Amino acid sequence: MELNLWNSNTILKEWLIDHAGAILKCDFDFDVVNPSSNYLIKSISNRLNISEDYIAISAGISELISAIFSTSLWNNVYILEPEFGLYQKVLKNSWYRERTTVIKNSDVHQISEIVRKYETEKNDILCVSSPNWYSGERITYKEVVDLLERFHGVIVLDEAYVDYADSAELMLPLVEKNERLILLRSYSKGWFVSGLRVGFMISKKYGTVFRDSIIMPHSVSSSSLRLIAEMEKDVFIMKAFASTRKEVIRIREYLKCEIEKISSCECSKSQSNFLTVILYKRSLSDILKNEFGVKVMSVLDDRIIVKYWISDKENAEQFIRILKGECNNK
């Protein structure tokens, strides 16, 4: 059976049963000297063609965010708003609470210009999700190069949704060239295994530092680590994931084209598995709030802003029918 967006959970369960023997060979007594994460680090290193020293495994990106702000490495913190809510939640409970600057701008393409207003230092840190948590838009390679020139501290790119971007490995060469760049990656979105809670950091300077000294040891279970490592080695499962992500991207681009035809709608140039849509018809709020895959983000005087999570073509077509029907209804 071919893995796709609609039967991925079933296929993953069947695959897990078939591979349970290999996965359960892992030693559930943690080896302090050579932890189970080393198996996954080697796999990631081979797949992305980067040094093992650059990689730190964690219990999802959430643990990495907490770990970043649990240290005294930084002077000042800069984050965007709106942004993934965990950033502000963690910062409010950290000693950086009084040292955080919130940039109220969701346009990732303007960040390199905005930071010029601030006198940043080498021990400052800026966190940006790319593809962006709010819009799904991704900061370009050139924009990151410009940002590294204008922001004098460390830049964290949260790439949780990068598997749906045009080129997932676009920023990896910059990690090699610049020690001030940190990438955060997750298996939750593009690999459909959010419950396993596995993520990783890529950084030339900070990978080893966080792995050996900051991230809590053994925070990820041996079974999760081995399962992900086995998935990375399995040709069928990797091809299936790629096929599924390709379908998501195809539906996303279809939605963009259709939404552009509706005069009272605006759509983000998302490179994620969702679209952010501005609708200049408030009546759509009540209609869409119960639709599968739709989250109403804001209801303003003259518009509503919704996130549409891509599931399948049929659901996407239903979403478009609702938009066209209501927006054409004068």
Q: What is the pLDDT of residues 100-116, one digit of tens each?
A: 889 887 688 888 888 88
Structural domains of the chain ordered from first start: 8-233 (3.40.640.10), 237-327 (3.90.1150.10)
When the pLDDT of each residue in the chain is averaged and rounded to a whole number, the result is 85
Q: Provide the pLDDT for residue 226.
A: 81
* Confidence grade of residue 31 (pLDDT, cut at 50, 70, 90): very low
Name which of 166, 88, 91, 176 is nearest 130 in CA terms: 166
Q: Provide the pLDDT for residue 33.
A: 42
Position 328 pLDDT exceeds 80: no
Express each pLDDT in 254-276 by its tens digit: 999 999 998 888 899 999 999 99
Q: Provide the pLDDT for residue 161.
A: 93
Express each pLDDT in 190-203 by its tens digit: 877 777 889 999 99
Which has more pLDDT, 325 or 315?
315
What lies within 8 Å, CB to CB, of 20 at 6+ separation is none
Q: Which of 98-102, 174-178, 263-267, 282-286 has the highest mean pLDDT?
A: 174-178
Angle at 168 between CA 203 and CA 268, to 5 degrees: 115
Which has more pLDDT, 164 or 21?
164
Q: Provide the pLDDT for residue 32.
A: 46
- Cβ atoms 77, 124 nearer than 8 A: yes
Express each pLDDT in 61-76 by its tens digit: 999 999 999 988 999 9
Q: Provide the pLDDT for residue 164.
A: 92
Q: Are strands 77-80 and 294-299 parallel, antiparallel or unpaired?
A: unpaired
Q: Tell me the average pLDDT across 301-329.
A: 84
Q: Tell me the average pLDDT across 168-176.
A: 87
* Confidence grade of residue 168 (pLDDT, cut at 50, 70, 90): low
* Confidence grade of residue 329 (pLDDT, cut at 50, 70, 90): low
Q: Tell me the average pLDDT across 227-232.
A: 84
The pTM (predicted TM-score) of the whole model is: 0.89
Please count the other Cβ atoms lying within 10 Å of the Cβ belonging to residue 307: 20
- Cβ atoms 144, 126 nearer than 8 A: no
